[in-house]
Amino acid sequence: MTQKSIKSPWLWVPSLYLTEGIPYIIITTVSVVMYTKLGVSNSDIGLYTSLLYLPWVIKPIWSPIVDLFGSKRKWFLTMQLVLALVFLGVGMTTPASNFFFLTLAFFWMGAFASATNDIASDGMYLIALKPDQQSFFVGLRGTFYRIGMITGNGLIVIIAGFLETSLGDNTQAWSWTMISVGGLMLILTLINFLTTPQVEEVQAEKTEEEKSFAKVFQTFFTKRNIGLSLAFVLLYRLGESQLVKMASPFLLGDRTDGGLAISTSDYGLIYGTVGVIALLLGGIVGGILISRDGLGKWMIPMALSLNLPNLLYIALAYFQPEGLVYPATVVIIEQLGYGFGFAAYMVFLIYLAEGMYKTSHYALATGFMAMGMMFPGMISGYVQEWLGYTGFFVWVGLAMIPALIMAASVRYPKDFGQKKPEEKTQ
């Protein structure tokens, strides 16, 4: 295959990462909103929706299969089709009497398909683009991933809230919402089929000797300072991993239970739309600054930015203000800080994946990232029910201590991510 046959990244990077973002946010976050509105307890929500992160944790086990066999394009197109069927299944089983078990089963299948889609999509990005293109398009990639988050946690939730009001039945509202998500995934799969390039032959770099599962894992776990690096990956978002699971029940919950009683549509507007836009802006600014100055200068400021705004939830839970102004302000500040702080995290993961087997090593790094979200999230509901919302958010605030310690301790080239002088003049 000639280089001329490769389609422009401007054409396929946006759609590919939009299709990564939507299923991930639906499975890990919108499921929390759905189960909250369908009356599931916080402890069950925290435990079982956090377990949905497991496929992203263990995806390194099968990432070498994606890396070594078949084309990345065939993998992600197949997984995207499976995801469309999964969301249709969630929608069809939501009205059932044992809906919690059935929908969780579909979400589990979707989580495995979404994790595999991530492996193949990230692999396409790494093999289809040259290193300078990877840096150039990382902003576009992140932008459309977050647009997927806005679509899922914003627009989709707003639609669900509208249907709750118009139908007067939360079960039917969420059933039709998930069926619509399935239809959306079918459309996106078709778009990716038409726009993504076939570049496996162009970028073939593996020899028969290299095609070894053991070597894939060995080369990752023998990286320099790997223990310290993985501790950083696990602890950097220790507070956020718990906050993200209980923020929805807190904002949506009855005031008598310590919540703010915000409607589903208002939640979609505040947390899923305005909040994600703030997240996007923070991420863009963070990426620009790292590109200008390198990761070393911004690691600690970004770690503080990610963690300090979480303290605002303490006041929100204590005073339980009426209306949307104060909750919206807190969400915007927290998401802006999270987006800014998350830029350092993602650049570090790219550094951790450097070398041979980038696809598999990036999958391993993001697997540990998902583990850092899963285990704290599993206990978040129990901690909240034990401490109440105010005490829970104090606990989340204290979680910044190990995060900051690891941010100060982790080792990496301080100029990593910084544009070279010759790149700045191009």
pLDDT, tens digit, for every residue of 248-261? 899 999 999 999 99
Question: When comparing pLDDT for 61 and 200, which is higher?
Answer: 61
Are 324 and 83 spatial neighbours (Cβ–Cβ below 8 Å)?
Answer: no
- Rounded Cα–Cα distance for residues 284 and 51 (Å): 30
Nearest CA to 124 among 39, 188, 56, 67?
67
In the chain, the domains with their CATH numbers are 8-197+210-415 (1.20.1250.20)
Q: Report residue 317 as tokens.
A: 């839970």
pLDDT digits (tens, 9 = 90+) for 15-73: 999 999 999 999 998 999 999 999 999 899 999 999 998 998 888 788 778 877 778 89
**DSSP line for 357-421:** -HHHHHHHHHHHHHHHHHHHHHHHHHHHHHHHHHHHHHHHHHTHHHHHHHHHH----TTTTPPPH
pLDDT of residue 139: 65
Q: Report residue 227 as tokens.
A: 């223990």
pLDDT of residue 418: 81
Strands (E) located in 213-341? none
Average pLDDT over residues 166-183: 96
pLDDT digits (tens, 9 = 90+) for 293-307: 889 999 999 999 999
Calculate ∠ Cα 347-421-233, nearest 5°: 10
Least confident of 66-75, 230-239, 338-347: 66-75
pLDDT of residue 202: 42
Q: Is the pLDDT of residue 203 over 70?
A: no
Question: When comparing pLDDT for 135 and 81, which is higher?
Answer: 81
Least confident of 135-139, 210-214, 218-222: 210-214
Q: Report residue 59 as tokens.
A: 């995806």
Question: When comparing pLDDT for 215 and 335, which is higher?
Answer: 335
- Rounded Cα–Cα distance for residues 31 and 114 (Å): 14
Nearest CA to 27 among 94, 109, 85?
109
Average pLDDT over residues 380-392: 94
The values of phi and psi at residue 129, to 5°, are -115, 145
pLDDT digits (tens, 9 = 90+) for 270-294: 887 788 788 888 888 888 888 888 8
Q: Is 211 strand, coil or helix?
A: coil
pLDDT of residue 326: 94
pTM of the model: 0.76
- Rounded Cα–Cα distance for residues 186 and 189 (Å): 5
Please state, as a whole number, how many other Cβ atoms lie within 10 Å of the Cβ of residue 73.
22
Nearest CA to 136 among 287, 267, 27, 294?
287
pLDDT digits (tens, 9 = 90+) for 112-134: 999 999 988 888 887 777 766 66
Q: Is the pLDDT of residue 177 over 80?
A: yes
- Rounded Cα–Cα distance for residues 40 and 26 (Å): 17
